[in-house]
Amino acid sequence: MKIRIATRKSALALWQANHVAAVLRDLPEIEDIELVPMSTRGDEILDRSLQKIGGKGLFIKELEIAIQDGKADIAVHSMKDVPAEMPEGFCIAAVLERANHADALVSPQGQQLHDLPQGALVGSSSLRRQAQLRMMRPDLRIEPLRGNVNTRLRKLEDGDYDAIILAAAGLERLELDHHISQQFQPSEMLPAAAQGVVGIECLSGNTGLRAILEKLNDETTVQTTLAERAIAKTLQASCQSPVATYAFVDGDTLRVTALVALPDGSKSVHDSVAGKPGDAEQLGLELASKLIEQGALELLEAAGAMHG
């Protein structure tokens, strides 16, 4: 079988596509792999916030159209960019072993968050990161930061910001992790749902291809991803909503924590659940219900009004 992989053209997206291609080549059914690099609207529109132009789904829509039109067979994504509600006819057929889940602070002189001067300017477009940064350091000024990893690092080097926040996994994959000044623990900054996870998307009806791709699933990552995405789906959170969640397997127990906050950090709800890893999705639903009881939907509505 030949598999064509639709991918964005950024260095990180190409790394992920090549990584999946390398894993697929180890399967006896695969005869050939071809990358189909594409530009998406999310990559092209850099002068407006993602919330205003349609969210991170813009990064994957063109890739899905390529699959639908028969120009590609699969698409490879950072799962944190994939909307919790999949479009009809599409599915995530496999998730690879999770890489680093953490958010990372990058500053020119290697300062940690507590070292940054009063009123320092930090770059991040993520409302989730903004909220948690302000919960730790209410004095910080936070301004949007768009573009690929290298573009963001260049803006920092040019002095546009005192520090920026990036996903540690992306920096590690591009061998740029020497830029990391501090990695946040989940107790300091919870990640986005499925942050650090690479997923493979294909048509739901392509059962033969799905059977092959399922061989690439990492069971623990399947469980943590199910739990985290169930929370985002129940809260109807987009990738840009101030919703954070992290699940991990501890022995024979799956522990799940989540947070919903206003982007200014002034209000938040936070809770955890634990149970059997096999009940991952149910645990995510249970935790989302607990957050809703504590006012999560009202916070999300207020956040939407502030940043609509």
The strand ranges marked E within 197-289 are 198-203, 243-250, 253-261, 268-275
pLDDT of residue 146: 87
Amino acid at the residue 218: D
Gap between the Cα atoms of 31 and 306, Å rounded: 51
Q: Give the largest Cα separation in the chain, rounded.
A: 58
Provide the mean pLDDT of the chain: 93
Q: How many CB atoms lie within 10 A of CB 85?
A: 12
Task: Give the whole-angstrom CA distance, residue 122 versus residue 91.
Answer: 36
For the cut 70, the answer to whether the pLDDT of residue 143 exceeds it is yes
DSSP secondary structure letter of residue 16: H
Sole residue written with tokens 């790394």: 15
More confident residue, 305 or 272: 272
All structural domains of the chain: 1-97+196-217 (3.40.190.10), 103-183 (3.40.190.10), 219-308 (3.30.160.40)
Given CA atoms 207, 215, 225, 276 in this order, what sign does their dihedral have?
positive
Give pLDDT tens digits for 217-266.
999 999 999 999 999 999 998 767 999 999 999 999 999 999 999 999 99
CA-to-CA separations, 216 to 1, 219, 229, in angstroms, rounded: 16, 9, 19
Per-residue confidence at 59, pLDDT binned at 50, 70, 90?
confident
Question: What is the pLDDT at residue 242?
Answer: 95
Reported confidence tier of residue 293, pLDDT bands at 50, 70, 90:
very high
Structure-model confidence comparison of residues 40 and 104, the more confident one: 104
> Rounded to whole angstroms, how far apart are CA atoms 105 and 48?
23
- Checking if the pLDDT of 208 tops 50, the result is yes
Token pair recorded at residue 116: 């940054």
Categorize the per-residue pLDDT at 88 as very low, low, confident or very high, splitting at 50, 70 and 90: very high
Buried b / exposed e over 196-222, threshold 16 CB at 10 Å, is bbbbbbbbeebeebbebbeebbbebbb
Does residue 244 contact residue 229 with C-beta atoms inside 8 Å? no
The predicted model gives 183-192 an average pLDDT of 97
pLDDT tens figures, 117-142: 999 999 999 999 999 999 999 999 99
Q: How many residues does the chain have?
A: 308
pLDDT value at position 307? 75
pTM: predicted TM-score of the whole model, two decimal places: 0.92
Q: Read off the pLDDT band of 53 (50, 70, 90).
A: very low
**Where does the pLDDT of residue 45 fall: very low under 50, low under 70, confident under 90, or very high at 90 and above?**
low
Q: Could you tell me the two tokens for 308?
A: 């609509």
| pLDDT on residue 78 | 95
| CB 162 within 8 Å of CB 150 | no
Cβ neighbours of residue 175 under 8 Å, at least 6 residues apart?
none
Q: Which residues are catalytic?
A: 81
Specify the DSSP element, H or E, that contains 34: strand 32-38
Tokens of 89: 């006819």
Q: How far apart are CA 113 and CA 110, in angstroms?
A: 10
